[in-house]
Homo-oligomer: A and B are copies of this chain.
Amino acid sequence: MRRKITLKHIARELDVSISTVSKALKGSSEISEDTKDKVQAFAKLYNYKPNNIAVSLKNKRTKNIGVIIPDIVHHFFTTVFRGIEHYANQRGYNVIVCVSDESFDREVVNMEMLANGSIDGFIMALAGETQLKKDFRHLREVMDQGMPLVLFDRVTDEIACDKVVLNDEQISYEATMSLINEGRKRIALLTTDSFFSVSNAREQGYKRALRESNITVDENHILRLPYNKEIDGVGSFLKKNNINAVLTVNEIFGVHCLSAAQGIGLNIPTDLSVIGFTDGILSKYSVPKLTTVAQHGDKMGALAAKLLIEKIENDFNEEDEVFTTEVIQATIIRRKSTIN
């Protein structure tokens, strides 16, 4: 077993000092061509690579970024993660992921694990529990230590930091409008509990579209379904309220709605139009294919990573920090569950 080789080994073998080796490997002009060649050849032969940990300690830079997300088996987060990972890798950063599982405690623990030197900055989407409790001390603490933080999607106004969000309210408004333009009047919203920042924004957009079109907002047309649990009762909800169009805040609800509607004999899109959120795999393979709001997670992730790395690398001048909130423009992918 050929153990990893260090500067010290090379120095000993070649009978020079460690600093000479270090400089020679960097091609420093202070070192003679002769020794440079000798050292570099030896290093190549034994496949010398500097030890990241030692370099990190020296530079106080790990070239790692920490990502904390509520869930990984989830198309949108996965997509964002891919965006982050891809961009970060290009810039020479590695990504450490922790999953909070929607739990406040796990979010706190994970942050603490990573905040002690393992990473140069955080990218995260808040756990459901955190948004519910509105307790953000762990975020504030990390910021106080001068560690950059970028929030995406599930954000909060209570923390001043860079953010990347979707134009949730607006795209939800537009989606609802497009249903109204199909001539639909009895439009339902299938959503989750409203403490999720994004669900809330989507609900606002839905309501605004109705109001602006002089359709009274009927709370009975808003069905709040449990998140990550068995779904039930959508068919009877549709029938009872005589719904003819639905906006759902994710694609699971959307696809479920499709089958529930077909189950009670409705034709899609003739009798009922459906628009979902999250342009994932379900939307593409459902029957009929689901019209859906693409959240462009890749773009969101890449942008979050870009913002973070800029903060990390621009030894930002302490107090006069400026935070931006970037808004990603969602787009509606028209497929077969709507008329237009």
Contact = CB atoms under 8 A, between A and B. Distances in A.
Given A117-B51, A117-B53, A75 B72 contact: no
B64 A73 contact: no
Interface in A251-265: 252, 255-256, 259, 262
A271 B95 CA distance: 49
A324 B116 CA distance: 35
Given A81-B72, A94-B98, A97-B95, A117 B287 contact: no
Interface residues of A, number: 54
Contact of A57 (B50, B53, B145, B285): B53
Given A50-B116, A53-B56, A78-B78, A2 B145 contact: yes
Most buried by B among A50, A73, A141: A73
Given A75-B73, A94-B113, A95-B97, A53 B62 contact: yes
* Identical chains bound together, number: 2
Nearest to A254: B285
A216 to B, nearest CB: 33
A78 B72 contact: yes
A108 to B, nearest CB: 13
A284 to B, nearest CB: 9
Contacts of A47: 141
A112 B75 CA distance: 29
A287 B285 contact: no
Nearest to A146: B1
A64 B89 CA distance: 17
A164 B255 CA distance: 34
A309 to B, nearest CB: 16
